[in-house]
Amino acid sequence: MDEKIRNLAKSFEENGYGVIENFLDSEAVDLLRREAANLVESSTIDDCRRQVFGHPIHVKSDYFLTSGDKVRTFFEKGAVDLDNNKLLVEKEQSVAKIGHALHCLNVSFRRCTTSCHVRKVFEAIGFKDPTVVQSMLIFKNPRVGGEYTPHQDASFLCTEPIRLAGFWFALDDATEENGCLQFIPGSHKEPLARRFVRSQDEKTGEISLIWTASPAEYDDDAFVRVPVKRGSLVLIHGLVVHRSAPNQSDKPRWVYTFHAYDKNNSKYLEDNWLQEIDNKTFLGMDYFLH
Ligand code: FE2
């Protein structure tokens, strides 16, 4: 594993992303998948509209803004009848993601996040004080799983200077058909195009979330598709431009992912949408296994 981690770090530096196959063994994937299925099963349908991932009501709602210390369920846009505020498909098929504190609140995901192999990856990419700020399950279920348009993760979780890494664990084979990741290699050497920030209304004090600029345009041909087997780790630089297509196949593409910054030499910005809650949701080095 040590040599694989060295190669991963090299690719992360050169391309802005890298892959290690079989980072999780089959048993570990089965466990996380069972755990994910249980979370879907036990999730409550509270108010479909505000639980729709990417919908304007969802972005404005506290349901999203206060999810940093909770395990909350968000539905796919195409799985909700917005007029009648109800699901169009079975709950099992309708979930887009669950977040954002699995790394704190769920034992299995916490173990995966703080494993000694993960710690070694941080060492290899030069993170001296890695701090995990959020975690998510992303489902991309057959037929309803939506696309992720081109973005840089640092738009959501910005630090100064930018020292952010995303860990992305495939819980299914991620293929071109079910929406594997696509990257623009080397794009992490370009600046951050825009940010998604908290903005407080001076009169009402109400917090809303806004984009600081319009989406950047990228050449379609610049993207490289990166299909991976279940159990693979994809490491994502906070500045690399990436996207994924909708799932048009009949196979799911479940993923567990978390993000960390290096607290040693960068500052987490106060206007990021996600803020630490009660000094307990950002997990630092002390939590990692040796
Ligand atoms: Fe991303």
* 130 strand-pairing partners: 262
Span from the CA of 181 to the centroid of ligand 1 (angstroms): 9
Q: What pLDDT shows up at residue 87?
A: 84
CA–centroid distance, residue 168 to ligand 1 (Å) = 9
How many angstroms separate the alpha carbon of residue 55 from the centre of ligand 1?
A: 18
Banded model confidence at residue 61, pLDDT cuts 50, 70, 90: low
| CA 114 to ligand 1 centroid distance, Å | 20
Distance from residue 84's CA to the centre of ligand 1 (Å): 31
pLDDT of residue 102: 94
Predicted confidence (pLDDT) at residue 52 exceeds the cutoff of 80: no
pLDDT at residue 63 tops 80: no
Q: With bands split at pLDDT 50, 70 and 90, how would you rate the model's confidence at 285? A: confident
Q: What separation in Å is there between the alpha carbon of 51 and the centre of ligand 1?
A: 20
Expressed in angstroms and rounded, the spacing between residue 169 Cα and the centre of ligand 1 is: 13
Q: Does 241 or 284 have the greater pLDDT score?
A: 241
- CB contact burial 206-216 (16+ within 10 A = b; e otherwise): eeebeeeeeee
The arithmetic mean of pLDDT across residues 233-242, rounded, is 98
Model pLDDT, residue 155: 97
How many Å lie between the centroid of ligand 1 and the Cα of residue 134?
Answer: 12
Which pLDDT value is given to residue 44? 76
**Which pLDDT does position 251 carry in this prediction?**
96
- Please give the pLDDT value at position 241: 98
Higher-confidence residue of 198 and 258: namely: 258
Q: Is the pLDDT of residue 59 over 70?
A: no
Predicted pLDDT at 248: 92
The answer, yes or no, to whether residue 53 has pLDDT greater than 70, is no
Nearest to 147 by CA among 121, 115, 178: 178
Q: pLDDT tens digits for 97-109? A: 999 999 999 999 9
Q: What are phi and psi of 29, to 5 degrees?
A: -65, -45
Cα of 17 to ligand 1 centre, how many Å?
A: 11
Radius of gyration of the chain (CA): 18
Centre of ligand 1 from the C-alpha of residue 153, in Å:
5
CA 111 to ligand 1 centroid distance, Å? 22
pLDDT tier, 60 (very low <50, low <70, confident <90, very high otherwise)? low
pLDDT value, residue 165: 98
pLDDT of 194 reads: 96
pLDDT at 47 over 70: no
Distance CA 217, CA 205 (A): 34
| 102 contacts: CB under 8 Å, gap ≥ 6 | 71, 109, 110, 113, 135, 136, 137, 256, 258
Per-residue confidence (pLDDT) for residue 33, from 0 to 100: 97
Ligand 1 centroid distance, CA of 28 (Å)? 23
Residue 83: predicted pLDDT: 78
- Which residue is it, tokens 């279940």? 230
Q: What is the mean pLDDT of residues 6-24?
A: 98
pLDDT at 134 over 70: yes
- The mean pLDDT value of the chain amounts to 91
Cα 179 to middle of ligand 1, angstroms: 13
How remote is the CA of residue 204 from the centroid of ligand 1, in Å?
Answer: 32
How many A from CA of 141 to the centre of ligand 1? 17
Q: What is the mean pLDDT of residues 48-72?
A: 72
Q: How far is the CA of 236 from the centre of ligand 1 (A)?
A: 8
